[in-house]
């Protein structure tokens, strides 16, 4: 029995409802979700588990994090930091929306690393809201839950797009989600990797988007699209922007902003290209695109950091098929595409050189593609 299953049986078997909420990877399409773009995420086999029990007598909702050994009362606690902040934000919004809910006790445990850029906060919020929706029969759709969870991030101070929450809610085993963020629709693309494997390497530089230039990038992209729209009447969104249009508004932009705009246009092309290559099973082409995206994120969009740059450089040196920083940036994980046969060896070389050069021990997270948020029946496992 796996460690997480043992823990689940030990800690959550009394709960009336258990929800499994996975993290996500993103194959390609970084910083495009808030630009009406296409992205290609997938849910993974690492998750947060939430056990819900309705309180018969208690008046307020309490949440216990087993991993952090902390309990909060969503009505009466001063601790509004870290993981607790997400629950305060959820309940604040519930109040504003006048959504009634009965008091519950919720216990949480997880095998999803926090602060690694694999959307532990989206998993936490989507899983919690999914559970409340079941218990209180609100009738929210998966898309509505995803958008509610996105609103929670905005409340916390990260002006994110919808990719993470969408992937967490709509993930499907062995499928990538080709998500059109403008229309909020998706189609699934097979992601059976056969003799290839995906590994995340966590730089262990904490990825924390609150207080980073993440929101600045979003503002820059808004500035660029609005300058383009002033010039062209018929450009409804970034989906219609061409390279030359970004050049034409250069006068209104700083040199960095101009580069950031070029990154967005080029990343649009790479997502289209990769979605097609995924259907053709052309893994070499996808790998090459991953390296190009990293170059763009690091040099043009400027959201990487020395440590994730180093991990990607080491991947390249060791002839990994493709690698790039993943997620919002400023630390967190790289995603690496490898041949199964040589994967273990190469990962070892990369991680030990990284450790030697930085003094930081990185974590290796092998990922398989799993289902989105759902109810978990412990007896079936």
Which are the catalytic amino acids? 164
160 binds ligand GLA (CB under 6 A): yes
> Taking Cα atoms as reference points, which of 291, 219, 306 lies closest to residue 256?
219
Q: Within a 10 A sphere around the Cβ of 54, how many other Cβ atoms?
A: 14
Among 108, 181, 116, smallest CA distance to 147 is for 181
Determine the interface stretch with ligand GLA among 28-36, 83-91, 187-195, 360-368 (rule: CB under 6 A). Answer: 28-36
Give yes or no for residue 257 binding ligand GLA (CB under 6 A): no
Shortest CB 33 distance to ligand GLA, Å: 5
Q: Is residue 31 part of the contact set for ligand GLA (CB under 6 A)?
A: yes
From 15-23, 155-163, 356-364, 367-375, give the range in contact with ligand GLA by CB under 6 A.
155-163
Burial class (CB in 10 A: 0-12, 13-18, 19+), 170: buried
Q: Which stretch binds ligand GLA (CB under 6 A): 31-39, 241-249, 267-275, 290-298?
A: 31-39
From residue 327 to residue 346, the character string flagging contacts with ligand GLA as x (rule: CB under 6 A) and all else as - is xx------------------
Location of structure tokens 């499907």: 172
- Shortest Å, Cβ 298 to ligand GLA: 14
Q: In the block, which residue shows the tokens 């060896």? A: 345
- State in angstroms the smallest separation of the CB of 360 from ligand GLA: 22
Q: List binders of ligand GLA among 80-139 (CB under 6 A).
A: none
Cβ–Cβ under 8 Å, residues 347 and 201: yes
Residue 307 binds ligand GLA, judged by CB under 6 A: no
Binding mask 33-72 for ligand GLA (x = CB under 6 A): xx--------------------------------------
Query: Rounded CA gap, 312 and 161, in Å?
Result: 25
> Contact region for ligand GLA (CB under 6 A) — 26-34, 78-86, 167-175, 373-381?
26-34
List own/partner pairs for 345-351 with CB under 8 A and 24 or more apart: 346/315, 346/318, 346/319, 346/320, 347/199, 347/201, 349/314, 349/318, 350/201, 350/311, 350/314, 350/315, 350/318, 350/320, 351/201
**Contacts to ligand GLA by CB under 6 A:** 30-31, 33-34, 160-161, 163-164, 327-328
């Amino acid at each position: 029995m796996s460690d997480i299953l043992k823990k689940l049986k030990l800690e959550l078997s009394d709960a009336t409802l258990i929800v499994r909420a996975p993290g996500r990877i993103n194959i390609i399409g970084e910083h495009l979700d808030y630009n009406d773009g296409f992205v290609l995420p997938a849910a993974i086999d690492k998750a947060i588990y939430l056990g819900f029990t309705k309180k018969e007598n208690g008046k307020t909702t309490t949440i216990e994090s087993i991993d952090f050994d902390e309990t909060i009362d969503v009505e009466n606690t001063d601790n509004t930091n870290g993981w607790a902040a997400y629950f305060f934000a959820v309940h604040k919004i519930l109040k504003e929306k006048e959504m009634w809910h009965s008091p519950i006790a919720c216990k949480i445990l997880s095998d999803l690393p926090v602060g690694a850029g694999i959307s532990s906060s989206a998993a936490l919020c989507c899983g919690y809201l999914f559970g409340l929706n079941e218990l209180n029969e609100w009738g929210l759709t998966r898309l509505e839950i995803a958008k509610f969870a996105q609103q929670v991030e905005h409340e916390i101070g990260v002006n994110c797009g919808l990719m993470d929450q969408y992937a967490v809610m709509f993930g499907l085993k062995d499928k990538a989600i080709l998500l059109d963020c403008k229309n909020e629709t998706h189609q699934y693309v097979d992601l059976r990797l056969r003799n290839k494997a995906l590994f995340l390497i966590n730089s262990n530089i904490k990825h924390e988007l609150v207080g980073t230039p993440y929101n600045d990038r979003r503002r820059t992209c808004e500035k660029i699209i609005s300058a383009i729209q002033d010039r062209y009447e018929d450009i409804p969104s970034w989906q219609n922007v061409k390279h030359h249009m970004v050049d034409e508004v250069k006068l209104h932009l700083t040199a960095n902003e101009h580069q950031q705009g070029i990154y967005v246009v080029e990343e649009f092309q790479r997502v289209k290209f990769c979605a097609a290559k995924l259907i053709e099973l052309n893994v070499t082409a996808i790998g090459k695109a991953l390296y190009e995206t990293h170059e763009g994120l690091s040099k043009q969009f400027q959201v990487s950091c020395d440590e994730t740059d180093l991990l990607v450089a080491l991947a390249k040196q060791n002839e990994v098929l493709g690698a790039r920083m993943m997620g919002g940036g400023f630390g967190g994980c790289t995603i690496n595409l490898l041949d199964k046969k040589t994967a273990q060896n190469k990962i070892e070389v990369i991680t030990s050189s990284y450790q030697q050069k930085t003094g930081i021990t990185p974590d290796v997270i092998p990922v398989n593609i799993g289902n989105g948020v759902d109810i978990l029946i412990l007896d079936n496992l």
